Structures are given as structure tokens and as C-alpha cells.
Amino acid sequence: MTPLPPGSTIGILGGGQLGRMLAVAAAQLGYSTRVLAPDEEAVAAQTASSFTRADYQSRIVLDDFAAAADVVTYEFENIALDPITYLATQLPVHPGALSLATAQDRAAEKSFVGDLGGRTAPWRLVTSIEALHAAVAAIGLPAILKTLRMGYDGKGQVRITTPDDVDSAWDSIGGRPAILEGFVEFSHEFSIILARGQDGSMVSYPPPWNEHVDGILARSSLPAPVEIARQWGEAAALTGRIAEQLGHVGVLACEFFVGADGPVFNEMAPRVHNSGHWTIEGAVTSQFENHIRAICGLPLGDTGLTAESVEMLNLIGEDANDALTYLGEHDAHLHLYGKSVRPGRKMGHVTRLVR
Ligand code: AMP
């Protein structure tokens, strides 16, 4: 494994806060970054060395992007597969197309993990209203209908509680291909954030307890309560098997429920993850740095905690208006993403450490 020398250029597809924080980590290790994104307000452009505003479909744009970069990564999983496979013919793209294709499709993701011996909620693929009624009969209620693709932060999903809800649930997701998932009784949610290097070496972080409000992550905290600690080993081992089977290079995040019989896999993201933002100050090496290390062929860094306890709070929408008050707190670390305020938007986060 020959490391990419500092001074090289990392191409990042996607212009959001994850790209923004990846660019900071890359700069710290001496790399340049080039962001490609269609967004009018691409906040990653503020920290990257250069920015191209364009969509991902033009071959001319992709050729130019590839020519200017030494390795490519991406910061969100809803990018089309086609530009990734096209770029991969010209230069290394990490994580690879198999990771992206699997994580983009809830059915592919769940069957992949089930085949590896992972526990998932009972689920059925549904592509018609008749199939949805049959799936409800098989799985029972309550259940959750989730679009196959493009779901995140609770978007594209609807809960079905009574048989009367079935038709309206189908209409509310626009009759798109979906999975019906049985409702999991869980005490906590947590995530395993793992980095896998080009040589197959892996490191993973201690798992945060993740609390959601309205389907959006509100808080991640560590050390996790004992219910999570008991299921940590099994969940981390499964995440490692997933990364290996995918030939994944970079950070992989898997979300789990604490179920009665063990960890229940919910979903994966082939990228740095919101529930890992605490690692910037709360771990010896951040998830962003470990992602950059992995895709550049560098040795992975220590994932241990730097504090006795760590808490990350997301600043959503109007929360950002009072953000500066955190600066008065000892050992609180404020990150603002440079976005204009909109309700429900992830504007920044704060990490509090107790050492
Ligand atoms: P997702 O977009 O799949 O991460 O779902 C968003 C949130 O909905 C999760 O973090 C859970 O709080 C909840 N949720 C999703 N799937 C299930 C399920 N099968 N059973 C219970 N709660 C769920």
C-alpha cells in the first residue's frame, strides 16, 4: 500500500457539512480538496481548496474533476451510481460502488446484512398496493413503510398502525417501491462507526447512544448505557463483517436498535456520520481524519475517548440563533456549518466533554 503523498488532491462529491468537515481534516494532513456539488449553498466550498458547482451527470465535468484529483470520495449516499462507476474507470474512488449501491437500497441493504447473519426487523419488498396489503398480513401491525431509496432523517417513511392506514400510507409515499418493516421494540438506539483501510485493517469507535427527535438525530452521548454496552461487541463484529464483504475503504456507519435478543441492524451509511461528530474532540482521531487516512492509504488512528464522558448536541434550525452561548461553557466545542437558517436544517453541533 503506497500512501497518497501529502500535497495530493482529494475530490469530494457533495457539498454539505460532512464534506466541509472532511475538507478540514484533509487540510490538516496536508491534502488539497476539490468539491463538486450542484448546491447553490455548498457549505463544503467554504473549507475546500476549490469548488465546482455542477451536477454529477456531465461527462465533461467529471473528466475535469478526475483530472484534477488523485482520489475521490463522497459525502452522501444518495448520489447516482453512474458518476461513481464512471469516475472509478479513471482514478480510485473510495468507498467503492458496491458499498454505495448496497446502502442506497433498503432491500439490498437488509438482505446483505441478513445473509451475513445480522438481525434485522422482519421486512418485505413492496412494489404495489396489493403487495403492501399482503406484507401487512404477513408482518402484522404496527409497521413502517419506507421508500426503497432516498430516505434519510426519517424522510420517505410512514408508520402504519391500523389496517385503515394502509391505503393512505401507500399514497403518502407516492406509490414508490418500498419495504414494509415490522416495528422493533427497542430500549435505545446506537451506532457503530468503523474505518477500514486499503490494507483491510479496521478500527471502530466506542458506540454512542443516539437519541432522535422527529426522526432527526438530536443527541449522541458516551459512554453508552449498559444496555448498549452489552450489545456493542456483537454489533461491532457485524459491522466489521459488512465492511469486509463490501471491500469497503473509508468510514462505514451502521445504526442499531437495542433489541430484546441482541442488536437489530437498522441501516448503514457508507460515509462519515452525524452520530460520529463527537469524535472531533471526543476521540483521539476523528472520524473525518480516519476517513481521509483510509482513502489515502495511511495508517488508521486511535479511536479511544479523550474524556470521561462526551455529549454531542445537534443544532437544528432556530437552535443556531443561540449557539454562541455555548462558548461560555468550559470544554464545550461549537461547530457551525455556515448555512442560512431554515426550520429542520442541521445548522451545526456542539460537543461537550467532561474530563
Ligand atoms: P431510519 O430513517 O430508518 O433511520 O429511521 C428513522 C428513525 O425511525 C429511527 O432512528 C428509529 O427511531 C425509527 N425507526 C425506524 N425503523 C424502525 C423500526 N423498524 N422499528 C421501530 N422504530 C423504527
Q: In tens digits, what is the pLDDT along the chain, a chain of 355 residues?
A: 789 999 999 999 999 999 999 999 999 999 999 999 999 999 999 999 999 999 999 999 999 999 999 999 999 888 999 999 999 999 999 999 999 999 999 999 999 999 999 999 999 999 999 999 999 999 999 999 999 998 666 678 999 999 999 999 999 999 999 999 999 999 999 999 999 999 999 999 999 999 999 889 999 999 999 999 999 999 999 999 999 999 999 999 999 999 999 999 999 999 999 999 999 999 999 999 999 999 999 999 999 999 999 999 999 999 999 999 999 999 999 999 999 999 999 999 999 999 9
Is residue 77 domain-resident? yes
With a 6 A CB cut-off, is 53 part of the ligand 1 pocket? Answer: no
- CATH number of the domain at 44, please: 3.40.50.20
Is residue 1 domain-resident? no
> Do 156 and 280 share a domain, yes or no?
no
* CA nearest neighbour of 252 among 265, 266, 240: 240
- CATH number of the domain at 134, please: 3.30.1490.20
> Do 80 and 171 share a domain, yes or no?
no
> Do 167 and 273 share a domain, yes or no?
no
> Do 67 and 134 share a domain, yes or no?
no
CA of 316 from ligand 1 middle (Å) equals: 19
> Do 198 and 345 share a domain, yes or no?
yes
| Alpha carbon distances (Å) from 310 to 134, 208, 225, 232, 333 | 45, 9, 13, 17, 11
With a 6 A CB cut-off, is 142 part of the ligand 1 pocket? Answer: no
* CA nearest neighbour of 236 among 118, 153, 123, 152: 118
With a 6 A CB cut-off, is 210 part of the ligand 1 pocket? Answer: no
**Residue bearing cell 500512501:** 3
> Do 281 and 344 share a domain, yes or no?
yes
With a 6 A CB cut-off, is 259 part of the ligand 1 pocket? Answer: no
> Do 324 and 198 share a domain, yes or no?
yes
Which domain, by its residues, includes 57? 9-93
> Which of 77, 93, 109 is the endpoint of a domain?
93
Of 148, 266, 274, which is best to mutate to test ligand 1, by the most ligand atoms within 8 angstroms of its C-beta?
Answer: 266
CA of 314 from ligand 1 middle (Å) equals: 18
Ligand 1 atom with least separation from CA of 255: 4
Work out how many domains the chain is built from and give that number.
3
| Identity at 168, one-letter amino acid code | S
3-state secondary structure at position 77: coil
- CATH number of the domain at 201, please: 3.30.470.20
> Do 79 and 163 share a domain, yes or no?
no
Is residue 273 domain-resident? yes
Question: What angle separates helix 97-104 from helix 81-88, to the nearest 10 degrees?
Answer: 170
Is residue 50 domain-resident? yes
> Which of 165, 182, 199 is the endpoint of a domain?
182
* CA nearest neighbour of 264 among 313, 297, 292, 231: 231
Backbone angles phi, psi at 154, to 5 degrees: 75, 5
Query: CA 233, CA 275: separation in Å to the nearest integer?
Result: 18
With a 6 A CB cut-off, is 216 part of the ligand 1 pocket? Answer: no
CA of 281 from ligand 1 middle (Å) equals: 28
Is residue 306 domain-resident? yes
Q: Which residue's CA is the nearest one to ligand 1's atom 9?
A: 215
pLDDT attached to residue 153? 62
Query: How many other CB atoms are there within 10 angstroms of residue 175's CB atom?
Result: 13
pLDDT attached to residue 151? 67
CA of 92 from ligand 1 middle (Å) equals: 34
Which DSSP state fits 44? Answer: G
With a 6 A CB cut-off, is 151 part of the ligand 1 pocket? Answer: yes
Which DSSP state fits 305? Answer: B
CA of 151 from ligand 1 middle (Å) equals: 11
With a 6 A CB cut-off, is 109 part of the ligand 1 pocket? Answer: no
With a 6 A CB cut-off, is 86 part of the ligand 1 pocket? Answer: no
> Do 238 and 194 share a domain, yes or no?
yes
With a 6 A CB cut-off, is 267 part of the ligand 1 pocket? Answer: yes
> Do 214 and 277 share a domain, yes or no?
yes
Q: Where are the beta strands (DSSP E) in 117-231?
A: 123-126, 143-147, 157-160, 178-182, 189-196, 202-204, 209-213, 216-222
pLDDT attached to residue 215? 86
> Do 139 and 248 share a domain, yes or no?
no
219: which 3 cell numbers? Answer: 443527541
Is residue 110 domain-resident? no
Is residue 30 domain-resident? yes
| Alpha carbon distances (Å) from 15 to 45, 51, 65 | 7, 9, 14
> Do 341 and 274 share a domain, yes or no?
yes
> Which of 93, 114, 137 is the endpoint of a domain?
93
Is residue 203 domain-resident? yes
